[in-house]
Amino acid sequence: DQSKILDDALQVVKVQTYQMRRCLESNKLMDGLKHCSTMLAELRTSALTPKNYYELYMSIFDSMRHMTDFLKEAHVSERHHLADLYELVQYAGNIIPRLYLMITVGSVFMAMEDAPVREIMRDMLEMSRGVQHPTRGLFLRYYLGQMTKDHLPTAITTSPHSPTLHDVDGPSAEDSPQGTLRDSAQFTLTNFIEMNKLWVRLQHQGHSRDREKREMERKELRTLVGSNFIRLSQLDGVDLDMYRDLILPKVLEQVVNCRDVIAQEYLMEALIQVFEDDFHLRTLTPLLSATAQLDPKVSVKNIVIALLDRIAAYAAREAEDEESRQARELAETTDTALTLSDAGEPAARPSTVRGIPSDVPLFEVFWREIVQLIHARPDISMEDITALCLSLVKLSLNCYPEEYDYIDQVLEFIAEKAEQAKLSPDLHAPSTINNLLALMQEPIRAYPSALHLLRLRHYGTLLEALTFSTRRAVARVIVEKIIQNETYIRSRLDAAGILGYCQVLIKSPKTHSGPSVAHRAPPAGASPRFTDKRSGGRIPSSGLLNDEDYAEDQGLLARLIHLFSIPEDSDEQLQLLIDTHKLLVQGGDFVRYTFPPLVIRSLELLRQLFHQHENKGEEWEQTSSRIFKFIHQLVVALIDRAEQNGGCELALRLFLLAGQSADEYGFEEMAYEFFVQAFTVYEENISESRAQFQAITLIIGALNATRMFGEDNYDTLVRKCILHSSKLLKRPDQCRAMYMSSHLFWRQFSGDDLANVPDESFYRNGQRVLETLQRAMKIADACLDSVTNVELLVEILDQYVYFFESRTEHIQASYISGLIHLIHTNITSVEA
C-alpha cells in the first residue's frame, strides 16, 4: 500500500531529522552524519510511485538544510574543513546516501573562497553516474541541480586558446580552479542530458500493461528535467553566442536522439518558453530544422505554433514600446535640435522593427520550414495545416503588418490545400473549420480598416472554398468592422470587392452555392468559435438559419450601403449605386431590406447635386432624370420581388418620398408619375382594409406637402384621394380619410413656399373644403354605432374650427354652431 509505505518512510525521516539536529547542536558531526545517512537511505526505495517518491524527497530536502547550515558554519569557524568532509562522506556504505551527502558537502564547499569549484563539479557529475535507476537517479540529479544553482561560476574568459564551444566534455577554457561561465553551462548541460536519458528509460519500468500509467507518471516528473533549462537561462552572462554555439546544439542533439515522443514534445516546448525571444530570433533555422527531425508521432504543430505565438506576442509588445519610445525620442529631439549644429553625426537607423532584427528574414524562415514540414509529412491533417498557417498569419500581422504578400502567400497555400481536400471529411471537421474561421478573421482584427482586405488577392479565393456558415460569419465580421469604424467606401472597385466578400449575405437562401448546403448549420462541436455579434462572437449552432437570421444579415447590408459615398464625383456615385443594385438584386425577397437604403442614398445624391448646380441647366436635368429613373427601377423591382412580404406598402412609401423630392426640385411631371405609381400600387396590391386606410392617409399627407403641381395634375390626384377615401371598407375610415382630404383644398404656405407656387387659386378652394367636410358628416351619420358617430362628429368639428380660424370664407360660424348642437343631441340620445 503506497500510503503506508510513504507514511513509514516519512516517520523515519522525522525521527532521524530530530536525532540529526540534536547531534549537530551538540557539535557531534559524525553522529549527525550517521543519522543523516539513515534518513537518506529511505530514498533507496523502489516501492513508491514517482509522485509519492517526490513527496518523500521534498521532506528530506527540507531536513537537509540543517546539515548545510551546520557545514557552512563549521568550515567558517575552522572546526571542520569541507575538503576533508567531502572525502569523508564518500565512505558511506550505500551509494544513495553517499552521493546525497557528497552533493550536500560539495555544494557548500563551492560557495567558499578558493574552492576548486571546477573539480568539485566534475567529480559530482561523474559520481552521479553511479545511480542508473530511473526514478532514484532522476531525483539525485535534480538534487544536484538544486544545491549547486546558486554557486555556479559565472566568470567569462576571453582566452584566444579556448577549446571549441561544442566540446562539452573537453578541457575548460581557462585553467582557474574556480571555473568559468562555460564550465557552468557544460555542467548543467551534462546533467540535463543524463536526466533526460533516465527520464526516457522510466517508460520501460514495470509490466507492459501499465504503460499508460507510467506515461502519466513520466509527465508528472517532466519539470525535473526542464529545470535544467531554467538553470541555463538564469546563468548570469549567457549571451547569444554561447546559446547558439554551445547550449542549443547540445540540447537539440539530445532531444532529437532520444526518439521519445513525450520527451521531445515537452523539451521543445520548454526550450521555446524558457529562453529569451532574441535568442530564438537568431536561431530559427536550427530550431525548426530539429523540429522536422522529431519522431513522426510528435505533434510538431504544437511546437511550431508555440514558437510562432511567442515571437508574435514579443513583436506586439515591442510595437507598443516602440511607439512610446518614438514619442519620447521626438520630444527629446525637439528639445535638443537647437543645440546640435555641427557636432556629432546623425543617429544610426534602428536595426529592429517591432523588436525583429532587420537582418532576420523571420517570415521567410518560418514559411520555408513550415512548407517543407508539410511536404515531408503527407499524413499531416488539415487541422494541423490550418493551425500552423493561422499562427504564421498572426506572426506576420504582428511583425510585418504592411507586407500583404506574406499573408497572401499563406491564403493561397491554404486555398490550394482546401481544394485538394475538398472531398475529405478532415476539411469539415469542427477544429479545422474553427481554424479557418480564425484565419479569415485575423486580418480583419489586425488591420485598421476592412478595406485592407482588398489588397489580399487570395482572400476571396479561400473564402469561396469555405462552408456556408464560415463564409457568413466572416462576411458579418467584415461588415460590422466597416460599420463600427464608419469606414466610407470611396470607389466602385472597393465597393465591388467588399460586396464580393459579402455574397453569402446578399444572395437569397435558395440561390446559395458552395462547398456546403445553404441552410446547413455548423458541424456539431464547431459552434463555440463561430462569430456572431448577437451571441458574443458566435454563430447559431443548432438548426437551420431562419428568416430572422437572414433579415439581420440584410440589416447589416442596409447599414453598409449608407457608407458608399463618392462626394467629389456625382456620376461615379450614381454608377456606384447602380452597380450595388445589380449585386443586391440577387437577394430575392430580401431586397425589401436593401433597396430602401439605395433609394435614400439616391435622394441624398439628388439633394447634393441640387446644391452644387447653381444654374439648373440641361446637365442638372439630365442627371436628375437618370436618378429618378433609377429610383423608379428600384421601387418597381421591390414590388416584383417582395410583394408577399410587405414590399408593396414599402414601395408605396418610397414612391411618395420620390414624388415629394421631385416636386421639391421642380420636376412636376416626375412628381406626378411617382404619385400615379403610388396610386397604382394602392389599387393593385393593397387589399387589406387597415392597410388601405394607412396608405391613403400617407398619400394625402404627401400630396399636401407638394407645391409645384399645376391645376390639372393636382386636381386629378386630389380627386383620386377623395374617390379612394369614399371606397374604404369601414365607415369610420371613410369619414376620417374624407375630412383629411379637405386639407388638400386649403393649403398653408410659408413666404418662401408661396413664392414658388405657380398659381395658388386651386390650392385654396373654400367651397370644395365645405363640400368635402359635408360628405364626411354624411358618412358619420351613416354609422350605426352611436358612440362612433359622436366621436367622428367631434373630429369633424375640429376640422371646421381649424378652417374657420384659417379664415376659410365658406366655413361660417353657423355651421359650427349647428354641428355642436347635433353633437349634444347625439350625446343625449347615447346617455338615454
Angle, helices 731-741 vs 766-781, to 10°: value is 170
When pLDDT is averaged across residues 268-281 and rounded to a whole number, the result is 94
- Is 342 inside any structural domain? no
Confidence of residue 619 (pLDDT cuts 50, 70, 90): confident
**pLDDT at residue 674, as a whole number:** 97
Quick one: 188 and 110 in the same domain? no
- Is 810 inside any structural domain? no
Quick one: 320 and 289 in the same domain? no
Rounded Cα distance between 600 and 559, Å, is: 12
**pLDDT at residue 328, as a whole number:** 61
Query: For residues 272 and 234, is the Cβ–Cβ distance under 8 A?
Result: no
Q: Taking Cα atoms as reference points, which of 65, 66, 62, 85 lies closest to residue 75? A: 85
Grid cell locating 709: 403641381
pLDDT at 313 over 50: yes
Quick one: 490 and 387 in the same domain? yes
pLDDT at 159 over 70: no
Q: Taking Cα atoms as reference points, which of 151, 76, 75, 77 lies closest to residue 116? A: 151
Q: State residue 352 phi and psi, 5-degree precision.
A: -130, 150
**pLDDT at residue 377, as a whole number:** 85
Rounded Cα distance between 646 and 650, Å, is: 6
pLDDT above 90 coverage of the chain, percent: 70
- Is 346 inside any structural domain? no
Query: For residues 652 and 698, is the Cβ–Cβ distance under 8 A?
Result: yes
pLDDT tens string 529-556? 334 433 334 444 433 567 788 888 999 9
- Is 200 inside any structural domain? yes
Quick one: 263 and 408 in the same domain? no
The overall average pLDDT reported for the chain is 87
Quick one: 271 and 323 in the same domain? no
CA angle in degrees (0–180, nearest 5) for 196-313-277 = 50
Quick one: 130 and 60 in the same domain? yes
**pLDDT at residue 748, as a whole number:** 78
- Is 244 inside any structural domain? yes
Quick one: 634 and 700 in the same domain? yes
Quick one: 287 and 321 in the same domain? no
**pLDDT at residue 337, as a whole number:** 47
Q: Please give the residue that has the higher pLDDT: either 615 or 418.
A: 418
Rounded Cα distance between 473 and 535, Å, is: 12
Query: For residues 160 and 216, is the Cβ–Cβ distance under 8 A?
Result: no
pLDDT at 490 over 80: yes
- Is 432 inside any structural domain? yes
- Is 155 inside any structural domain? no
Quick one: 364 and 492 in the same domain? yes
* 3-class secondary structure per residue, 245-308: HHHHHHHHHHHHHHCCHHHHHHHHHHHHHHCCHHHHHHCHHHHHHHHHCCCCCCCHHHHHHHHH
Provide the 10 A C-beta neighbour count for residue 618.
8
pLDDT tens string 95-119? 999 999 999 999 999 999 889 999 9
Quick one: 183 and 217 in the same domain? yes
pLDDT tens string 29-79? 999 999 999 999 999 999 999 999 999 999 999 999 999 999 999 999 989
Which single residue is written with the C-alpha cell 566540446?
167
Query: For residues 592 and 642, is the Cβ–Cβ distance under 8 A?
Result: yes
Rounded Cα distance between 420 and 411, Å, is: 14
Give the DSSP letter string of 12-32: HHHHHHHHHHHHHHTT-HHHH
pLDDT tens string 754-812? 555 555 566 788 999 999 999 999 999 999 999 999 999 999 999 999 999 988 889 99
**pLDDT at residue 423, as a whole number:** 83
Q: Please give the residue that has the higher pLDDT: either 588 or 511.
A: 588
pLDDT at 340 over 70: no
Domain containing residue 86: 1-139
Query: For residues 118 and 178, is the Cβ–Cβ distance under 8 A?
Result: yes
Quick one: 109 and 200 in the same domain? no
Give the range among 35-39, 411-415, 505-509 with minimum mean pLDDT.
Answer: 505-509
* 3-class secondary structure per residue, 581-605: HHHHHHHHHHHHHHHHHHHHHHHHH
Q: Which residues pair with 489 in a beta bridge?
A: 564
Provide the 10 A C-beta neighbour count for residue 759.
9
Count Cα atoms within 13 angstroms, Cβ side, for 131.
Answer: 29
Q: How many domains does the chain have?
A: 4
Query: For residues 722 and 772, is the Cβ–Cβ distance under 8 A?
Result: yes
| Number of helical (H) and strand (E) elements in the chain, helices listed first | 37, 2
- Is 453 inside any structural domain? yes
Domain final residue pick, 490, 508, 526: 508
Q: What is the CATH number of the domain that holds 594?
A: 1.25.40.660
Grid cell locating 395: 506572426
Quick one: 286 and 319 in the same domain? no
